[in-house]
Amino acid sequence: MTEELVARARDALRVVIDPELGQNIVDLGFVYDITAEGGEVHITMTATTPGCPATGFLKEGAQAAVAAVPGVVSVDVTMTFEPPWSPSLIDPAIRASLGFAAVN
């Protein structure tokens, strides 16, 4: 059940779109970790920079999206900037569509 709940939470996060890049936070590599235990889901995620004006929007969107998943009792979202986000974390197909050069 725990792995299934984590997978459903990850899928739900795909509806949260970064307003600047126009892609979902999973494919952008913003979601660093998802854990679940007894219906309690914890998400560790980031944004492009510590000063990103969309940080609150992204955090609230992630919490709301996962809270709507059946079986979720509570959602805790932690924003972190360690490690720093970089374009290398973007799904390769999305990175190409955004026009980012290949990043090692």
Tens-binned pLDDT, residue by residue, of the chain (104 aa): 689 999 999 999 999 999 999 999 999 999 999 999 999 999 999 999 999 999 999 999 999 999 999 999 999 999 999 999 999 999 998 988 888 765 54
Q: Compute the distance between CA of residue 94 and CA of residue 100 in angstroms, rounded to an integer.
A: 9
Q: Which pTM does this prediction carry? A: 0.91
End-to-end CA distance of the chain: 36
Q: Tokens for 45?
A: 């995620």
Q: Compute the distance between CA of residue 92 and CA of residue 69 in angstroms, rounded to an integer.
A: 27
Residue 3: strand, helix, or coil: helix
Instruction: Single out the residue of 26, 36, 33 nearest to residue 71, CA to CA.
Output: 36
Q: Compute the distance between CA of residue 68 and CA of residue 73 in angstroms, rounded to an integer.
A: 9
